[in-house]
Structure formats: structure tokens, C-alpha cells
Amino acid sequence: MMADRGKVSRLLKTARGQLDGILKMVEEDRYCIDISQQLMATEALLNRVNREVLSAHLRGCVQQAVSAEDREEKVEELVAALDKILK
């Protein structure tokens, strides 16, 4: 992985903590809007992590692809990932 592992790890651990908090909110039967807001915050954080990983992939793996065939394969991988994200 070309992304900053420390940054990605820290963000993912934060998201895991947020998910644990959301689960506790559900178990405590907290107000639905409060739960929804926390879910959106967690989604935003995960999107930030994904942006970091994909950005590093584009700047690293794709640029390092030696042949045009390798570059095309990497670009197609990225397009497929973006298709999934943007659904």
C-alpha cells in the first residue's frame, strides 16, 4: 500500500471507535437523529480514508506502472473502484 500507513491506521481506529459509540447509542435506544448524525460522521471519515488510499494508489502504483498495458490495467482498477464509491 502506497498510502501513509500511520495516517490510514489512525483514521480507521477513529472510525472503529465511532462505530463502537454508535452501537452503544443503539443499545441505549438513543434518539434516531443523533444516531444518524454519528453514522454520517463515520461515513465521512471512511470516505476520507478511502480518498487517501486511492490518491496514493494513483500517485504511486499507477505512475510506477512501466508499460502502457500495466498503466491501462491500473487505470481500469481505479475506475472500477470509483464506480463502486459513486453508486
Torsion, Cα of 77, 81, 82, 83 (10° steps): 100
Number of domains in the chain: 1
| pLDDT bucket at 71, cuts 50 / 70 / 90 | confident
Task: Report the Cα 1 to chain-centroid distance in Å.
Answer: 13
Res 24: pLDDT:
98
Res 39: pLDDT:
98
Res 68: pLDDT:
64
Res 67: pLDDT:
65
Domain of residue 16, residue span: 5-85
Q: What is the CATH number of the domain that holds 9?
A: 1.20.58.1000
